[in-house]
Amino acid sequence: MAIRELLDALHEGGVDFVVIGGVAMVARGSSRATFDLDICHSREKSNLERLAAAITPFRPVLRGADPGLPFLWDAQTLRSGLNFTLRTEVGDLDLLGEVPGLGAYDAVLAASARTALFGRDTHVLTLDGLERAKRAAGRAKDFLDLATIEELKRL
């Protein structure tokens, strides 16, 4: 997975986004691995257009979908759904319009902090934000992340 390439494309495309999920956990100090980049994006029409354009060069397709299933990647497709799990030429990318426990982009942004990633100022979910999201998601893997967050907060 080329996290840097995806982040560079999002920044260069002027996309409003927050890094969430496993990459945010790792950026905050977790030792866990992740196989995709998860972001929460603004649902503003102009942002959806920028997001669609930024990702187009990586030839995104729906992850896990039948390869024969027609899929048109553009802002209209993004408008028609809230969350997308994508496979791209540089790695898997999950796009979320809302995050359980936090809400839509503005709430997620408020639960993030600017963090230097690969030389760029990037909004990344804080430990508190991750804790709220993981607690709401409530899956087994979220429990392990919550235990890690608790330890990280003590350090």
Q: By the criterion CB under 8 A, which residues form the site for another protein?
A: 1, 3, 23, 26-35, 91, 115-119, 124, 134-135, 138, 142-144, 146-148, 150-152, 155
How far is residue 2's CA from residue 90's CA, in Å, rounded to a whole number?
5
Q: How far is the CB of 7 from another protein (least distance, A)?
A: 9
Nearer to another protein by Cβ, of 23 and 48: the residue is: 23
Q: How far is the CB of 78 from another protein (least distance, A)?
A: 25
Sort strands 91-96 and 98-99 into parallel, antiparallel or unpaired.
unpaired
Nearer to another protein by Cβ, of 82 and 116: the residue is: 116
Q: How far is the CB of 58 from another protein (least distance, A)?
A: 14
Q: Which residues are within 8 A (CB) of 102 and not within 5 positions of it... i.e. 6 or more apart? A: 40, 108, 111, 129, 132, 133, 136
Nearer to another protein by Cβ, of 25 and 48: the residue is: 25
Do residues 89 and 61 lie in contact, with contact meaning Cβ atoms separated by under 8 Å? no
Q: How far is the CB of 32 from another protein (least distance, A)?
A: 8
Nearer to another protein by Cβ, of 48 and 117: the residue is: 117
Task: Transcribe 92-116 into DSSP letters.
Answer: EEEEESEETTTEEHHHHHHTEEEEE
Strand partners, 103: 99
